[in-house]
């Protein structure tokens, strides 16, 4: 089958579309999800924008939620989308659905040093598994493991694993979050809404003046306001703890890669040295984690890169692909 492949990174906030030939992308477009009543409307708007002469017959959608070949479910958007009617409406002969952080994971073997910067001390990657973790509207996690002559992407919903506490302050903060949400997943702290809740929790347990701020306001006041500064420090520590747990679980000698929209926006408020110290704070296994590099992805669209470079393998339903 020839012709362009429609690829889409469908996040909780933004919907990113492009066409690919399996190597490069073109006609990239990012849209705010709130502009559309349904995914059908968003896809239709993109296809109308690129013109009828380039209408694709195959597509891959990366969805921020626990989706499968029959139904797309968005965790942080009120959309549940049956695949078959969508495929029929847009006359797609194939429509593959993957997790959004599986798409990011597909990109990891293709990133160059121009596509990331090191967090904390420089380390040299070794052959082995790689982990992607990304705080944004939610918290995405993806895993890459070596395969025969290439690599295998293992999708999952690691952002919903239980958030652990390492000290008394974190226990009190998690207790506050538990009263709000019941189960306190990593995403409850490591996301835009999570940072706002962390700030509320800090103000409550540290007896600071209570005022509801969104993530952007917390970052803006991160230097001058004690509650914002403490919330951002907790965000860094929790992210490092979860990333270290993932690195231990996966044996991620190939590196941990931070994606998502939040960490780049923190700028100098994201303390790489603090992150590394907490990342390796695993008692007897600190030495195991110390050689593992941590990279902050700076590539503009890593999910689209991953979908593009592995498009044919994904459409074959073959999760093993060559580097």
Per-residue pLDDT tens over the stretch 73-101: 988 888 999 999 999 999 999 999 999 89
Q: Is the pLDDT of residue 254 over 90?
A: yes
Measured on CA atoms in the order 266, 272, 278, 282, is the torsion positive or negative? Answer: positive
- Contact 240/275 with Cβ under 8 angstroms? yes
Tokens for 242?
A: 């979860």
- Give me the pLDDT at residue 243, please: 98
CA 302: distance to chain centroid?
A: 10
CA distance linking residue 274 with residue 201, whole number of Å: 21
**CA atoms of 76 and 86, how far apart (whole Å):** 20
The mean per-residue pLDDT over the stretch 279-293 comes to 97
What is the pLDDT at residue 319?
A: 43
- The predicted model gives 44-50 an average pLDDT of 93
Window from 10-14, 172-176, 184-188 with minimum mean pLDDT: 10-14
pLDDT at 323: 34
Phi, psi of 167 (to 5 degrees): -155, 180
In the sheet that 94-99 helps form, which strands lie side by side, from edge to edge? 25-32, 14-20, 5-10, 58-63, 94-99
> Which pTM was predicted?
0.91
| 7, burial (CB in 10 Å: exposed 0-12, middle 13-18, buried 19+) | buried
Q: Which two tokens stand for residue 309?
A: 């470079």
Q: Three-state DSSP class for 83?
A: helix
- Domains of the chain with CATH codes: 5-105+302-322 (3.30.420.40), 112-298 (3.40.367.20)
C-alpha 218: how far from its chain's center? Answer: 21
Strand 130-135 to strand 139-147: parallel, antiparallel, or no bridges (unpaired)? antiparallel
């Amino acid at each position: 089958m020839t012709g362009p492949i429609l690829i889409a990174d469908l996040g909780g906030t933004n919907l990113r579309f492009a066409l690919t030939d399996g190597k490069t992308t073109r006609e990239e477009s990012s849209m705010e999800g709130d502009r559309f009543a349904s995914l059908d409307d968003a896809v239709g708007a993109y296809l109308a924008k690129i013109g009828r002469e380039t209408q694709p017959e195959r597509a891959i959608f990366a969805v921020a939620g626990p989706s499968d070949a029959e139904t797309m479910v968005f965790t942080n958007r009120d959309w549940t989308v049956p695949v078959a009617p969508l495929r029929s409406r847009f006359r797609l002969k194939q429509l593959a659905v993957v997790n959004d952080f599986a798409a990011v994971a597909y990109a990891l073997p293709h990133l160059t040093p121009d596509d990331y910067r090191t967090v904390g001390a420089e380390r040299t990657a070794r052959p082995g598994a790689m982990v992607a973790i990304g705080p944004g509207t939610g918290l995405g996690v993806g895993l890459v493991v070596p395969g025969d002559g290439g690599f295998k992407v293992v999708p999952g919903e690691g952002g919903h694993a239980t958030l652990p506490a390492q000290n008394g302050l974190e226990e009190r903060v998690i207790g506050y979050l538990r009263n709000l949400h019941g189960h306190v997943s990593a995403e409850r702290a490591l996301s835009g809404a999570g940072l706002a809740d962390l700030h509320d929790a800090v103000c409550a347990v540290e007896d600071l003046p209570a005022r509801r701020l969104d993530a952007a306001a917390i970052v803006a006041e991160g230097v001058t306001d004690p509650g914002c500064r403490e919330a951002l420090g907790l965000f860094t520590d929790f992210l490092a703890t979860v990333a270290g747990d993932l690195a231990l679980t996966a044996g991620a000698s190939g590196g941990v890669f931070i994606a998502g929209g939040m960490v780049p926006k923190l700028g100098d408020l994201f303390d790489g040295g603090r992150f590394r110290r907490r990342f390796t704070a695993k008692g007897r296994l600190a030495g195991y984690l110390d050689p593992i590099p941590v990279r902050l992805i700076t590539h503009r669209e890593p999910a689209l890169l991953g979908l593009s470079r592995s498009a044919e393998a994904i459409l074959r339903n073959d999760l093993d692909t060559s580097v």
